[in-house]
Structure 1
Amino acid sequence: MALNIMHVDMDAFYAAVEQQDNPALKGKPVIVGGLSNRGVVSTASYEARKYGVHSAMPIVEAKRLCPEGVFLPGRHDRYAEVSRQIFEIFYHYTPLVEKLSIDEAFLDLTGCSRLFGDPIQIGKKIKEELYNKLGLTASIGLARNKFLAKLASDLDKPDGFFILEEKDIDRILEPLDISKVWGVGKKTEELLKSKGIDTIGRLKSLSLDELEMLLGKNGIQLYYLSRGIDNRKVEVNNQVKSISHEETFAENRVDKNLILASLLRMSIKVSRRLRKAGLQGSTIEIKVRYGDFTTYNRSVSLAVGTNKTDIIYEKAIYLLEKNRLLGKPIRLLGVGVSNLSPEGAQQLSLFENNIKMDKLDKTIDLLRDRFGESSVMRARNLDDFKSR
């Protein structure tokens, strides 16, 4: 079968962008994530990974392992900007792009050879463009389907290009740990390994009936994946489903004014990202995690979509108060908007006040783009700013 499916995964993306934007950071262990000891690592550069630092690790543990590391809070607007440039490169070669995340995608290269050469040539060109235009490297896997392409990119990191040909599938797959198979989460992995099934080869030795009896529908999927069979198409309409922002506080917060100030700051960030993406949403969501790690997610639906800061903020307050979520020490707070649609698909109101609100939001966006996030601040945010 033709090797037309490509998986591209940018290497240590957030950290790599920071190193590219600030050459003084190149070669240094860069760790992007929350700066407080209660935060977690978003991305660690390969220099930091040598110390054992990895994504989702608590910052306090990362500091213990890598005390000389450069710890940065992250610049998500900048990462989104670079991501758009990355995907422009992908779309130059094929319209069949499935976005998995800000720095990862599947590409279907079927029918592209006449214009750009065979898939191997296209892969080399993509790597060259990413490096020459953006100064970034990527790990690429090329295979006959999505599962194998993703597996291939994982086998040659960083800055690799692994071509998984038909004749090599069994030789490469069979020794791999079962955790490499899509659909094998922590519980499934523990169950299989408790029965001595620790490699893809051993998984492949089980019959379809045995796997279905053991794991249900998931067992059927694993039966085929262990044989390198994956019929899923590259999904080109894989659009953003929600935009959100959440923060873990340096210290648990119970003061209502500080909590509402944080809520406003998050609402500003979410609404700004919506406007930058040309989107609006009709569901407002909040997430509250207390000091004992009890977590609540609550949402409210609007009649029509919005990307207005004040409306998102007001509905978030409504959710906090209606569900009586204030009064206990809060460890983490988040705000999100979902059920997205293109901006302008619906109009919340054409009254003069809302037109003024829209103009004000967009003017503030321009000022922050030019002078930085802290250049324009609402009065309620002052206490929050001082407490950070």
Structure 2
Amino acid sequence: MDLNSFFASVEQQLHPEYRGRPLAVVPTMADTTSCIAASYEAKALGIKTGTQVGEAKKSVPTSSSSPATTPITRSTPTRSPRPSNSPAPSPTPPPSTRWSASLIGREQEPPRARKIALEIKQSIYKNVGEALRCSIGMAPNRYLAKIASDMQKPDGLIGLLPSQLPRAIAHLDLRDLPGVGARTEVRLNAKGITTMEQLLALDRNGMHKLWDSVWGDRLYHWLRGANTGDDGAPVSTGIQKSLGHSHVLAPEFRSHEGSWAVAHKLLHKAAMRLRMEKFYTNSLTVSIRFALTKEQTAHIKSKRHTSGIKHSGWAMEARFRECQDTLTLLEALRGVWAQRPQGGHFTKPFFVGVTLRNLIPEDEHQPELFADPNNRADLSATMDKLNLKYGHTTLHFAGMLPARESAPTRIAFTQIPVQYGVDYM
């Protein structure tokens, strides 16, 4: 089940004056930012996720914008109810704009499955909001169900029966397959696969060679209705592998001092999430993007950010013993930061990202033989108690003080903020 144009639909539910009009949800009210979501009225006029706000205003002067900062927008996914007889959700917990569930027993009979799907739609309409619509896909496995949920929008309901596969998806584009993005499509085209019909004509060995991994084996069987891979090919466990935060710097923070303060704030948030979600980590990656002038872009290879800024990039990873306390992570951040490039093309940072990788669940963490002499874990636990009660920036290390109010929690393309204590993150 996929909630259609979710962020825009929530704003239309909260503000009836937006209904029936082109609406874009944006992280901040600025022409240089990009649309997080667009209503179907806006999509019909060419405005979509990623469209620059300034360009959207030029193409549709009467369109409206709404900042994605309201707690109601963030919390609505957790309020979307299921009928009492609907199946249990998948291992992926809310909040999310997409859910999957496994039907059991007689629920798998197509008429019963369709009845459950219609009850979910009606429940959302009655209990959450009439402006919210969802598309539901039903299929023998989760991969095909995701494809089906995208085949009819908005407010769609598509079921793919085993007897219809794989011909029922032969008309789709390669990019309609989850996991096939622009780069993968180019790679497939280079190997002679340009249509879904050509892909489906391959046997299992051909699919394996095409992807050069067990992913090809899995895909071969999934597209034909199988529920798992073949020959013990592992299916993703769904265990989270990383977490982090990134931020486009406000003009006043586009300096080495300002970007360090924001990086410090991002780490503060990520470390707290690490503990709230009960993980340890042994890897930290820092990424920085540096804005370039027109003269500089003429001499070096550059990329264009969604804001229109041409830039160069840098990233570095640090490895350390498993930990979850802020102070140890801060030491790792400081070590990486000292090695950032300086001078030349690296004087105007405008984007910073901090990511914690190789997440280890608490119950799999191996405690060290000797206790931490500085009680770092207890210090972080005490900070968490105060920050959960009074706000996430109530108690923090001094390095983030200049950026304490910067990098606020926003709705991102890939994550809806979760509420911890009195704040969202």
Q: Is structure 2 residue 12 aligned with structure 1 residue 43?
A: no
Cα displacement (A) at 1:62: 3.4
Q: TM-score, normalised by structure 2?
A: 0.69
Q: Is structure 2 residue 316 aligned with structure 1 residue 298?
A: yes
Contact 1:33 1:71 in 2 (8 A): no
Q: Is structure 2 residue 155 aligned with structure 1 residue 155?
A: no
Task: Evaluate the alpha carbon distance shift between residue 191 and residue 351 of structure 1 in structure 2; reply closer, same or farther with a 3 A threshold.
Answer: closer
Cα displacement (A) at 1:140: 0.8
- Which residue number in structure 1 is paired with residue 228 of structure 2? 231
Aligned partner (choices 5, 27, 30) of residue 12 of structure 1:
5
Q: Deviations over 1:14-47 (max 9, x none)?
A: 3333444455544440323454455433322223
Cα displacement (A) at 1:82: 3.9
CA–CA separation in structure 2 for the residues paired with 1:179 and 1:325? 39
Q: TM-score, normalised by structure 1?
A: 0.75
Q: Give the letter for the 1:12 counterpart.
A: S
Q: Deviations over 1:144-193 (max 9, x none)?
A: 22333222111121222212234544553232223323454435534666
The alignment covers a number of residue pairs equal to: 375
Contact 2:137 2:159 in 1 (8 A): yes
Aligned partner (choices 169, 191, 198) of residue 173 of structure 1:
169
- Which residue number in structure 1 is paired with residue 332 of structure 2? 315
Q: Runs of 5+ in structure 2 lacking a partner?
A: 292-301, 303-310, 409-425
Further displaced range: 275-284 or 339-348 = 339-348
Cα displacement (A) at 1:142: 0.4
Contact 2:207 2:220 in 1 (8 A): yes
CA–CA separation in structure 2 for the residues paired with 1:367 and 1:17? 28
CA–CA separation in structure 2 for the residues paired with 1:349 and 1:90? 48
> Comparing both structures, which one devotes a greater share of its residues to strand?
1
CA–CA separation in structure 2 for the residues paired with 1:182 and 1:173? 13
CA–CA separation in structure 1 for the residues paired with 2:30 and 2:397? 22
Contact 2:262 2:403 in 1 (8 A): no
- Which residue number in structure 1 is paired with residue 349 of structure 2? 330
Contact 1:285 1:336 in 2 (8 A): yes
Contact 2:89 2:99 in 1 (8 A): no
Task: Evaluate the alpha carbon distance shift between residue 87 and residue 149 of structure 1 in structure 2; reply closer, same or farther with a 3 A threshold.
Answer: same
CA–CA separation in structure 1 for the residues paired with 2:379 and 2:174? 57
Cα displacement (A) at 1:141: 0.3
CA–CA separation in structure 2 for the residues paired with 1:249 and 1:351? 34
Q: Deviations over 1:254-274 (max 9, x none)?
A: 522211221233223323434
Q: Is structure 2 residue 86 aligned with structure 1 residue 61?
A: no
Cα displacement (A) at 1:54: 1.8
Contact 1:98 1:237 in 2 (8 A): no
Contact 1:44 1:53 in 2 (8 A): yes
Cα displacement (A) at 1:201: 3.1
- Which residue number in structure 2 is paired with residue 367 of structure 1? 390
Cα displacement (A) at 1:238: 1.2
CA–CA separation in structure 2 for the residues paired with 1:259 and 1:36? 20
Task: Evaluate the alpha carbon distance shift between residue 194 and residue 244 of structure 1 in structure 2; reply closer, same or farther with a 3 A threshold.
Answer: closer
Cα displacement (A) at 1:11: 1.5
CA–CA separation in structure 2 for the residues paired with 1:162 and 1:143? 9
Cα displacement (A) at 1:53: 1.8
Task: Evaluate the alpha carbon distance shift between residue 380 and residue 167 of structure 1 in structure 2; reply closer, same or farther with a 3 A threshold.
Answer: closer
Cα displacement (A) at 1:280: 4.6
Percentage of pairs with the same residue: 22
**What aligned pairs does 1:1-388 form with structure 2 within 5 A after superposition?**
8-28=1-21, 29-33=23-27, 35-75=29-69, 81-86=75-80, 93-94=87-88, 96-98=90-92, 102-111=96-105, 113=107, 118-135=112-129, 136-169=132-165, 172-182=168-178, 184-190=180-186, 198-205=194-201, 216=212, 231-232=228-229, 237-251=237-251, 254-291=254-291, 292=302, 293-306=311-324, 308=326, 310-324=327-341, 328-338=347-357, 339-342=359-362, 349=372, 351=374, 355-368=378-391, 380-382=400-402, 385=405
Q: Runs of 5+ in structure 1 lacking a partner?
A: 1-7
> Comparing both structures, which one devotes a greater share of its residues to helix?
1
Contact 1:107 1:234 in 2 (8 A): no
Cα displacement (A) at 1:342: 3.8
Further displaced range: 133-142 or 185-194 = 185-194
Aligned CA RMSD, in angstroms, stands at: 4.5
Q: Give the letter for the 2:159 counterpart.
A: I
Contact 2:138 2:158 in 1 (8 A): yes
Q: Secondary structure at the match of 2:351?
A: strand
Q: Give the letter for the 1:127 counterpart.
A: K
Task: Evaluate the alpha carbon distance shift between residue 249 and residue 215 of structure 1 in structure 2; reply closer, same or farther with a 3 A threshold.
Answer: same
Task: Evaluate the alpha carbon distance shift between residue 161 and residue 263 of structure 1 in structure 2; reply closer, same or farther with a 3 A threshold.
Answer: same
Task: Evaluate the alpha carbon distance shift between residue 119 and residue 325 of structure 1 in structure 2; reply closer, same or farther with a 3 A threshold.
Answer: farther
Contact 1:285 1:335 in 2 (8 A): yes
Q: Secondary structure at the match of 1:290?
A: strand
Cα displacement (A) at 1:213: 6.6
CA–CA separation in structure 2 for the residues paired with 1:88 and 1:319? 46
Contact 1:139 1:159 in 2 (8 A): yes
- Which residue number in structure 2 is paired with residue 5 of structure 1? none
